[in-house]
Chains A and B, each alone.
Chain A
Amino acid sequence: MADASSLGFWVVPIAVLGGAVRVSTPFLFVSLGECLTERSGRINLGLEGTLVMSAMVGYGVSYVSGSPWLGVLAAALTGAVLGAVHAVICGLPKVNDIAVGIALMLFGIGLAFFLGKPLIAPKANILPAIDFGWWTTIPQLHDALKINVLFLLGVVLAPVLVWALRSTRWGLVLRTAGESADAARAMGYSVNRIRLRATMTGGFLAGIGGSFLSLYYPGNWNEGLSSGQGITAVALVIFARWNPMLCFWASLLFGGAAALGPALQSVQITWGYHLFGAAPYILTLAIMIVTCSPKRTLVGAPAELSITK
């Protein structure tokens, strides 16, 4: 191992870079999924439950089958099923999607804890990383550049979603449902069906995010695994103005912030580690305050969304 102290303060940016890549993936997938759901005019707060439940299922399937990729698939399907439950209940008349979301969040977490008891002790196979740091002799940088395929998938997915929402028929229909349900109905589309598909896709993506938690980083199943990342990611969508590409950058920011506290402590900046941990939330709050106005809804917010109506 090379002399670590020679890196000096450079340890911090390298750690933040590595942390951004490692920690951001669940944020990225949940926020992309939620972005789609919200653009169709519905908010799914249940994604925290989806994240935890799919993390548990992914870990369990990987443990039983020996294949972590099968675990990812199972986690994604679990997410889609939970998304479908949300969409079907919200499709009933006079149902509040926020209340259903909170109920599903508690349900998902509770069910995952209940079914996940026997999975805490065993060790499942976890996902491999691709080594992009073969060219460097600095071990810290080398390790920061070990990148999981799911992260790369997210990197590709974000611009694809931007394009698809803007330029495809599918994207137009989804946005129509989100901006004006009446217009969508007038065009002959079933708003409920559009939102069902959007919520299921959102759940599917959140499920992939959950599998990343249990099958790559931190890479085990325990009951504190998510510690609120799902709900943070839902807030992150507002922060990112319902734009998938901004979701990507916001996820990197939140991920990097998680690495900042420990990295600063490792270079003897020991004050305020709670403050660094809270930095992204303070930033979110600041942006909300600066950009909100009583005269109009938030820029980019789908008009049908119950939080903006």
Chain B
Amino acid sequence: MNFDKLSRRQVLGGTAAIALAGALPAKRAFAADYTVGFIYVGSRDDYGYNQAHAQGAAAVKKMSGVKVTEEENVPETDAVEKTMESMINLDGASLLFPTSFGYFDPHILRVAPKYPDIRFEHAAGLWVPSMPKNIGSYFGYIDEAQYVNGIVAGRMTKTNKLGFVAAKPIPQVLRNINAFTLAAISVNPKVTTQVIFTGDWSMPVKEAEATQSIVNAGADVVTMHVDGPKTVVETASRRGVYVCGYHCNQAALAPNFYLTGAEWDWEDLYPKFVTMAMKGEKIPNFYRGGYKEGLVKSSPYGAMVPDAVRQQADAAKAAFLSGNFVIYKGGLKDNKGNVVIPAGPGLVQTDIKLESMSYLVDGVIGSTS
């Protein structure tokens, strides 16, 4: 084509046609099945956070008429926005599960308004009514399962020192450390928990060093909140101390030292959400739950846990199942001596104040800064 010969009229006409075509609503790729997209920040089989979500995705895959598309190792940057848009536009996904904490703000909040018909379900985010209605945030009160861990740990320790390898001092992590410690103290008042922060979600060498330091400081039961607990579980068992798991069941890694563990139960929740979305029902924008709602569970007890301890831990589980147990009681003090929860009935699990926790309770050795 010779562009020199184009008349002014042809140029105007062509430009208008292109503009019109661009203004037409983009037609999404046609898919016979209902497509659900899962996005993970790390590896799908990390014995941890991502594996727990991938097990939920696997449960969705088994449903008929549903197609699952997954992408792993997606960083919490603009990359996740591109992944979400490509899942919507190329794979035809109608429901997305971007599972990592850092995907929420600003990435999901930026993409969701562009696609009002697509549903975004995010783990751990805090949805407020001013946010787009097609975003949902769900999460489990896994501190309940860490509370049960704490009861077992508090009874099994001989040195009265527990250890907690944590990634970053954010509310979800602090909640786990505090629940674990409060439970241990409730069955053994002499207990203290040494917490060590590694600074990031997946730092195997740092996690191994942190575990070594905790054991060197005298702890004989260790638990953790990092993305892949494998390193901590294995290092602790090599040092010959007990360990309580997190995210997933890690008993296979340390059969002689694995007491129990706090696990997610997304296999139960995800198919439920997908069914609701397929039927056109409204998924609650804000969804939370613990043992009672089936969002968390405990690993089976290790053979070394005596019956008396099991009964005590089972009693705590039963209390959570009945739905009226309060972990964070009135008059609770932090480890600097300040009263952080005013005297009174305390904060129930659903209390939104707990989701901005910024303190470590009395009995925890460590600091959030």
**Are the C-beta atoms of A258 and B234 separated by less than 8 Å?**
no
Near A by CB (< 8 A), chain B positions 6-63 give 42-43, 45-47
Q: Tell yes or no: A154 within 8 A of B by CB.
A: no
Near B by CB (< 8 A), chain A positions 262-277 give 262-263, 265-268, 270-271, 273-274, 277
Q: Tell yes or no: B346 within 8 A of A by CB.
A: no
Tell me how many residue pairs across A and B have CB atoms closer than 8 Å.
130
Chain B residues in 8 Å Cβ range of A120: 43, 45-47
Could you tell me how many residues of chain B have their Cβ less than 8 Å away from some Cβ of chain A?
Answer: 44
Contact of A262 (CB < 8 Å), options: B161, B202, B212, B367: B212
Q: Tell yes or no: B198 within 8 A of A by CB.
A: yes
**Are the C-beta atoms of A4 and B217 separated by less than 8 Å?**
yes
Contact of A224 (CB < 8 Å), options: B209, B217, B228, B238: B228
Task: Across the interface, name the chain B residue whose C-beta is closest to A229.
Answer: B205
**Are the C-beta atoms of A223 and B73 separated by less than 8 Å?**
yes
A270/B46 contact (C-beta < 8 A), A123-B253, A220-B231 known: no
Distance of A113 Cα from B72 Cα, bound (Å): 11
Which interface class (under 10, 10 to 19, 20 to 34, 35 or more) fits A? 35 or more
Q: Tell yes or no: B285 within 8 A of A by CB.
A: no
**Are the C-beta atoms of A5 and B218 separated by less than 8 Å?**
yes
Task: Across the interface, name the chain B residue whose C-beta is closest to A11.
Answer: B216
Chain A residues in 8 Å Cβ range of B202: 222-224, 227
Chain B residues in 8 Å Cβ range of A277: 199, 206
Q: Tell yes or no: A143 within 8 A of B by CB.
A: yes
Q: Tell yes or no: A105 within 8 A of B by CB.
A: no
Contact of A15 (CB < 8 Å), options: B213, B235, B239: B213
Chain B residues in 8 Å Cβ range of A202: none
Smallest CB separation, A193 vs chain B (Å):
37
Near B by CB (< 8 A), chain A positions 1-46 give 1, 3-5, 11, 14-15, 18-19, 22-23
As a 0/1 sequence over residues 210 to 227 of chain A, the CB contacts with chain B under 8 angstroms (1 = contact) are: 000100011110111101
Main secondary structure of the interface of A (DSSP, over half): helix
Chain A residues in 8 Å Cβ range of B231: 218, 220, 222
As a 0/1 sequence over residues 213 to 231 of chain B, the CB contacts with chain A under 8 angstroms (1 = contact) are: 1111110100000001011
Chain B residues in 8 Å Cβ range of A271: 367, 369
Distance of A270 Cα from B73 Cα, bound (Å): 31
**Are the C-beta atoms of A262 and B228 separated by less than 8 Å?**
no
Chain A residues in 8 Å Cβ range of B159: 1, 4
Extra pairs beyond A18-B212, A143-B239 (4, CB < 8 Å): A4-B159, A121-B47, A259-B212, A263-B213
| Residues of A participating in the B interface, judged by any CB pair closer than 8 Å | 1, 3-5, 11, 14-15, 18-19, 22-23, 113, 117, 120-121, 123, 139-140, 143, 213, 217-220, 222-225, 227, 229, 258-259, 261-263, 265-268, 270-271, 273-274, 277
Could you give 6 example pairs across A and B, Cβ below 8 Å? A120-B47, A220-B230, A220-B231, A222-B43, A265-B366, A270-B369
| Residues of B participating in the A interface, judged by any CB pair closer than 8 Å | 42-43, 45-47, 73, 159, 161, 194-199, 202-210, 212-218, 220, 228, 230-231, 234-235, 238-239, 252-253, 365-367, 369
